[in-house]
Amino acid sequence: MADLFDQLNDDNRQRQIIAEGAVCLPGFALNEAHELLDALTPIVEQAPYRYLQTPGGHTMSVAMTNCGHLGWVSDRKGYRYQALDPRSGQAWPAMPEVFLNLAQRAASEAGYRRFQPQACLINQYRPGSKMSLHQDKDENNRAAPIVSVSLGMSATFLFGGLRREDSCQKLILQHGDVVVWGGASRFCFHGVQTVKDREHSLLGRQRINITFRQIY
């Protein structure tokens, strides 16, 4: 039911400047959603979602995989990007054209030209999954934005400031929404509140977030 309300409300949702350099493009990925999901199937066959360990020894509640030349990984040794999937020892699956094309169009729409992501992190949230407040700072290229695509169940995205203590805005990210994030807010703290159990018509009880990153 919530899903239906979300969709009925879509018409009223406008592009929103979250902060300087950060913009939400509601429904920007809706036309490609099926194609994105089709392209995701062989990726997660080759590189299945897995629950990574944090350097502190906790297990994340979000399951992750990657595609592209580089993938983001976390283990007891720390966070990093690497060309090989540690699970298989093989290269990550290639980034599908439909992924790259969408990411570049969204970046351009937000005013970021020549976005060339080498990495695409794919996060799978189940009811109860959350992402604690963090900064994305493992990328060497500090000028490039991050492009984030949300599919499936809605989630509440928290967007804070440059200090962990800064207050947070709350944004509901729905199926098809894209957030582009760079410039003055590139290193703002952000996170995802515990995802509620609300079935999505296309994806069931999951939320998938795909983020594109230009590492160098």
Binding positions for ligand MD6, rule: CB under 6 A: 123, 131, 136, 146, 148, 157, 179, 181, 190, 192, 209, 211
The pair of structure tokens assigned to 106 is: 């969204």
Number of residues that bind Fe ion (CB under 5 A): 1
The binder of 112, among Fe ion, ligand MD6, none, by C-beta within 5 to 8 A per type, is none
Task: Report phi then psi at 98, rounded to 5.
Answer: -65, -30
* Beta carbon nearer to Fe ion, 3 or 122: 122
What's the rounded Cα separation, in Å, for the pair 64 and 41?
A: 14
The binder of 118, among ligand MD6, Fe ion, none, by C-beta within 5 to 8 A per type, is none
**Minimum Å distance from CB 146 to ligand MD6?**
4
DSSP for 137-183, please give it. ---S-SSS-EEEEEEES-EEEEE--SSTTS--EEEEE-TT-EEEE-G
The binder of 124, among ligand MD6, Fe ion, none, by C-beta within 5 to 8 A per type, is none
* Beta carbon nearer to ligand MD6, 90 or 193: 193
- The sign of the dihedral angle between the CA atoms of 198, 63, 124, 79 is positive
Coil/strand/helix, residue 54 = coil
Is there binding between residue 6 and Fe ion (CB under 5 A)? no
With 0-12 CB in 10 A as exposed, 13-18 as middle and 19+ as buried, what is 106?
A: buried
The binder of 157, among Fe ion, ligand MD6, none, by C-beta within 5 to 8 A per type, is ligand MD6
* Beta carbon nearer to ligand MD6, 49 or 91: 49
| Residues between 108 and 137 with contacts to Fe ion, criterion CB under 5 A | 136
**Minimum Å distance from CB 133 to ligand MD6?**
10
The pair of structure tokens assigned to 87 is: 């699970």
